[in-house]
Amino acid sequence: MHVAEFRQASADGSARSGSVTLARGTYNTPCFMPVGTRGAVKYLSAIDYEALGAEIVLGNTYHLMLRPGAELIEQMGGLGAFAAWKGLTLTDSGGFQVFSLDPKVDDDGVTFRSTYDGSTHRFTPEIAVDVQQKLGADIQMVLDVCPPLPSSADVVRLALERTSAWATRARACHTRHDQSLFGIVQGGISEAMRAESARRTVDLQFDGYGIGGLSVGETREEMLPALAAAIEHLPVDRPRYLMGVGDPASLVEAVALGVDQFDCVLQTRLGRHGTALTSTGKVHLKNAANKLLDTPIDIACPCWVCERHSRAYIRHLFQVGEPTASRLVSVHNIAWTLKLMSDMRRSITDGTFDTLRREVLTVWG
């Protein structure tokens, strides 16, 4: 029995809107999941997520298992309860972080060092499942192999084979019936390998399907055909999750192909350094041009930051090293992205998605 079901409400071409029902609740799609790497989105709290209208927030397995530890979070009632977040949660497998640390990989799993104290740790598909069951998120992801790009065909093939084998093992040992388990499609930018990986992953009958290993250095023109090749073989009644993608142009292009959900650290990473997402493109708030501007970050944005604060004030906060500046722009960037997803849902229902897509690409393409 599946613990995640996608119900389509509307479609406009391949773009689709609807909802995903999990054991503990429902979220609307297309959706963006803010990334709470260590149990919190940087500079925000659960109160902020709720006020912004987020429905599901991501936590990072690699960081949470190291600090404070999966056992502690389990004792505190799971990740959502630990963070006092009443919405839904998803944990990634930690694979992307692990593979960015130059680990030792073999057919059984991966050995890596802690970014905190240099201690050695081991991940196998079974350990990744066990850790995430303790973390208790509503959705957990299988451990996969994320090859860097560019990589040779042999490297991508080996990553595909190991990801497929590890997915089989993860499926066999996952026992929490109140937690959804998503498989992950790999295959680099090869359309043939993406299609193959999708078919093999679907054969295992997961609750949903992540598409990993994209937005890791390839161009959007290289990413989209590979993404389309994977989606063609994913079931229509399960959620499709493009992992680690959050720039506006890629969001709208991926939704056009039929993707349902996304996560990315871009919104808060830009916010911390003073760059805002707006309806007219990126705005660099530290620039001197904002010194006397008594206007909001984005006049078209209804978030409380734009309702209340001027560009001049926020620039001043950055100039004097006030951390509030990073918080304000991070809140805005997440709010702006959530509104973009809401606009996409509405346009799919109205049959005007392609118009919205062209408008976004005119600014962000």
The strand ranges marked E within 52-114 are 56-60, 88-92, 104-105, 110-113
57 and 41 Cβ atoms separated by less than 8 Å? yes
User: For the chain, what is the largest distance between any 2 Cα atoms, rounded to a whole number of angstroms?
Assistant: 61
Sign of the Cα pseudo-torsion (322, 327, 332, 334, in order)? positive
Nearest to 142 by CA among 212, 73, 230, 82: 212
SS3 278: strand
Residue with tokens 């004030």: 313
Q: What are the structure tokens assigned to 291, written together?
A: 């010194």
Nearest to 135 by CA among 174, 183, 89: 89
Distance CA 348, CA 16 (A): 7
Angle, CA 16 vertex, CA 271 and CA 354 arms, to 5°: 75
Residues forming the active site: 92, 263
In terms of DSSP bridges, do strands 275-278 and 15-21 run parallel, antiparallel, or are they unpaired?
unpaired
264 and 336 Cβ atoms separated by less than 8 Å? no
SS3 73: helix
Q: In what order do the strands lie in the sheet with 5-12?
A: 5-12, 15-21, 26-29
249 and 224 Cβ atoms separated by less than 8 Å? no
Q: What are the structure tokens assigned to 117, written together?
A: 């104290």
DSSP calls for 107-172: SS-EEEE-TTT--EEEE-HHHHHHHHHHHT-SEEE-------SS--HHHHHHHHHHHHHHHHHHHH
